[in-house]
Structure 1
């Protein structure tokens, strides 16, 4: 990566945290581009990712087996911002990008790319689902696209990615964001029903 994972996470957070802050209670039951999640469930999932990947940065195990329940607890939007800042700090710690991370047994740089991708792509999902504007940092999108191209087969096998969405005209003229979304199984043109 041309920048550190923490630098990229900080850039991603600058654009994703406002999306989470902009989710109104009236939108929590709305559908998202991730068919298995409504807005509440996807926000809970993203919150869980942000918390668990702090542990992975510290080479500790993370627990994704517990159903997340963050949304609706106190000022959960501010808590998400706080946890995202903690995620950036965790990946800035000496050694965070080195070795392997937790029980996943994957290179730390790969794990860092995974959380960067989740923060970026799920912010797009939530923005689309709640009618908000969202424009991720182009450098972040480029890094995630390269990282996700490498892990897409594993992501599909694990059920984290859907089948690649086929872009019209083979993707000619598509933006890197559209290519990233398509790679993860999303229709870049998805609109709220």
Structure 2
């Protein structure tokens, strides 16, 4: 039987929340593997996602008109608190049942979407700020859930501009590398090092 989305979210949060907490103010303008997003915009986007998907877990409408939340006050602690609320929202009875969202998608699929965002954007932010982000052997169920759902969603995601063009990875690549490539990321992305003149 599949693990609960809330349990998988808890596992992903344990890896992503420390990355967000460790972002330094001087790193907010750094580029990320996520297209035109810098660290500030991507952290704000992930914060917005965490808030929106709490609403979707409760079968309420979410506002996707604002792509990124302004980073104000103690936003790092706020992100951690809201991520714990996200886990609790998806642990509530009935959260994974039925449909939710404007497109009336299966709730389990919607839960996998926020799980994927937490994992992939966690990697984006870690890679941009020079921190490790490697899945553990115990993350197999998490990667299976996200990989399977994102494979289904990828064609629509690319049409909507949510995913970039798929990046080919080597045969036999780790499932996490395959997930990154599926979402349009180069698993070996690194910030450009500017030459000193």
Instruction: Please name the residue that 1:143 is paired with.
Output: 145
Distance 1:24 1:138, change over 3 A: farther
What do the CA deviations read for 1:122-141 (whole angstroms, capped 9, x no partner)? 00000000000112333312
Correspondence 1:133 to 2:132? yes
What do the CA deviations read for 1:96-125 (whole angstroms, capped 9, x no partner)? 101111213111011001000000000000
Alignment of 1:35-50 (within 5 A): 35-50=35-50
Distance 1:66 1:3, change over 3 A: same
Instruction: Please name the residue that 2:115 is paired with.
Output: 116
Aligned length: 189
Alignment of 1:23-172 (within 5 A): 23-71=23-71, 73-136=72-135, 137-167=139-169, 171-172=170-171
What do the CA deviations read for 1:62-107 (whole angstroms, capped 9, x no partner)? 0010253342x11111100000000000001111101111213111
Instruction: Please name the residue that 2:13 is paired with.
Output: 13
Distance 1:117 1:160 in 2: 12
Distance 1:69 1:184 in 2: 22
TM normalised by structure 1 equals 0.94
Distance 1:104 1:62 in 2: 11
Q: What is the RMSD computed on CA atoms of the aligned residues?
A: 1.2
- CA drift of 1:155 comes to 1.1
Distance 1:103 1:67 in 2: 16
| Runs of 4+ in structure 1 over 3 Å off | none
**Does 137-146 or 104-113 show the bigger shift?**
137-146
Distance 2:73 2:39 in 1: 17
The answer (yes or no) to whether the contact 1:120–1:141 under 8 Å persists in 2 is no
